[in-house]
Structure 1
Amino acid sequence: MGEDAVDRAERVLEEGIERDLGSSMTYADYLDLDTLLSAQHPRSDPPQHDELLFIVQHQVSELWLLLLLHELRSARRLLAADELAPALKRLARVKHVQRQLTEMWDVLATLTPSEYARIRPFLATSSGFQSHQYRAVEFLLGNKNADMLRVFAHDDAARADLETLLHEPSLYDEFLRHLARSGYPVPAEVLERDVTRPYRLVPALVDVVAAVYADPAAHWGVYETCEELVDVEDQFQQWRFRHLQVVTRTIGHRAGTGGSSGVDFLRRALDLTFFPELYEVRARVG
């Protein structure tokens, strides 16, 4: 083998690369990898090969949800401050995070019904339904449900966080308040509504949105935000649908580990909407 072939097969470390890291912050230090990579505790006995997949899938989902909440809360604050441009930047990132969450279902879908059946008994009553962060995302987007707080009665911090979000305006509420401050004739019933309740369609608001869609150039910032919000909801629905598909192929119509009816319960979630006027207006365009 010639010298050139050896050179192409081996990448020599550059002189400037740090080698003595005994007293320096390392990649593992910064990311706290000792904690992160030791947080997987399979419960199956005898051990099941596929349980690590199940655990990692859901832990990674929670990390993405952590970032999603960070970006949604920031977008909401920016809308409340009438800073539309940076709020749109946050929503753009939100959509990319949502896409990651949806595509992750493809990995879990490699778990066959037989493989999952060997893991399921060790989940006991644990269920993704009990994800505090997922519920926080729903509350931030406007799908409020005070009864959900009972699920977290055992976890003071999670319950307190959801209770705070329950009484705060949603992302959509802040967008509509921004419209009102910008001179759009947002109906008083929208601005004065009980924010602890799920958002419901207000026909008079559809007229306001229709005027925006009738002349996008004259209302470009608002028009773009409406479409960004539709993108966010679309991504959320794709996540819900993919979840439904994976559960269907894995357990069929069996009840969920957390006590829900399983597939039927998940299917009903597809009928929920966060931003109804932004969909209703589509029948008025053209």
Structure 2
Amino acid sequence: MSAASVHEDGAKLDFSRDMSYGDYLHLDDILNAQHPLSADRNEMLFIVQHQASELWMKLMLHELRDAVACIADDQCAPALKMLARVSHIMAQLVQAWDVLSTMTPPEYAAIRPSLSNSSGFQSWQYRSIEFLMGNKNAAMLEPHAHHAARRQQLEAAYAQPSLYDETLRLLARRGIPVPASHTQRNWRAPYEPSPEVEAAWLAVYQAPHLHWDLYQLAEKLTDIEQALRLWRFRHVSTVERVIGFKRGTGGTSGVSYLRRMLDQVMFPELWTLRTAL
């Protein structure tokens, strides 16, 4: 290697024959994936923010799927690490709204016609995350009917036990009474809260020294749901700031729809048990 190929601190400079940073990350593909359809400069912000969020969601799905598999296989310890990472990913998604909220109503109005009917409502990755967390709704499969591969991936997430379902099955395998209605149910159906499930979690929380990994798992799930609530709140707040109460590009009622989503609870007994402690 010639002296011209090496920086003064020893770093390699010539990558004509070796893989570089940009090669490894396929940066040309990523950085050339922004194609604004309007002449307005602010469209770049809108595209990059949503593309970056989809990348974070890709990682979140990677972690969630493996966490669910670990819990189903009685491997609680690695699942805890994966779920902790999910919470940190959610923090990144929450902070992303700070950047998008710098877009003013006139700036968004200039690019809105270019969006046509495209909307974050149609994000198949976000829908997969919701399914994996237990928010099952068959109607949410329909926006993806035109894309067979995506529809198939979504249907797989829709049909399998959710993160919470597998957690409750783990409790039952550990000898903590969980009703069969919640360990052998129709996984496609929306989750229904249960006093018996709350009692099962109470047993864990009242004796954490006996159920330490389950206690930790419950707190990790609570962390994730709290982060999801923050994300939803920042979402509705940003949308209201940028478009007011106009309908969403995907056809939803916009802010009104997003406010209804604030009331959804993924792991209900982990919240109601706190009153009983």
TM-score by length of 1: 0.93
- Contact 2:36-2:47 at 8 Å conserved across structures: yes
Q: In structure 2, what is the equivalent of residue 34 of structure 1? A: 28
Residues 92-171 of structure 1 correspond to what in structure 2 (within 5 A)? 92-171=84-163
Distance 2:196 2:174 in 1: 17
Compute the RMSD of aligned alpha carbons: 1.0
User: What is the deviation of 1:252?
Assistant: 0.6
Structure 1 moving runs of 4+ over 4 Å? none
1:61 maps to what in 2? Answer: 53
Q: What per-residue deviation string (whole Å, max 9, x for no partner) do you get for residues 138-187 of structure 1?
A: 00000011111111111111111111111100011111111111111111
Are 2:72 and 1:80 equivalent residues in the alignment?
yes
Counterpart in the other structure of 2:259: 267
Structure ID, larger Rg: 1
Unaligned runs of 5+ in 2: 1-5
Answer yes or no: is 1:20 the counterpart of 2:14: yes
Match of residue 201, structure 1, among 193, 196, 200: 193
Partners of 1:206 and 1:95 lie apart in 2 by 23
Residues 36-85 of structure 1 show CA distances to partners (whole Å, capped at 9, x for unaligned) of 110000000xx111000000000000000000000000100100110101
Q: Percent identity between the aligned chains? A: 54
- What are the Cα deviations for residues 198-246 of structure 1, in whole angstroms up to 9, with x where unaligned? 1110111111111111122222111111111011000001000000000
Report the TM-score, using the length of structure 2 for normalisation.
0.96
Q: CA deviation at 1:15?
A: 4.9
Aligned residue for 2:210, secondary structure, equals helix
| Letter of the 1:114 counterpart | P
**CA–CA separation in structure 1 for the residues paired with 2:224 and 2:44:** 30
Q: Secondary structure at the match of 2:65?
A: helix
Local SS of the residue matching 1:217: coil
Separation (CA, whole Å) in 1 of partners of 2:211 and 2:44: 50
Partner of 2:3: none
SS in 2 for 1:154: coil
What amino acid is the match of 1:56?
Answer: V
Paired residue for 2:232, among 223, 240, 259? Answer: 240
Equivalent position SS for 1:234: helix
Unmatched runs of 5 consecutive residues or more in structure 1: 1-11
Shift of 1:28: 0.7
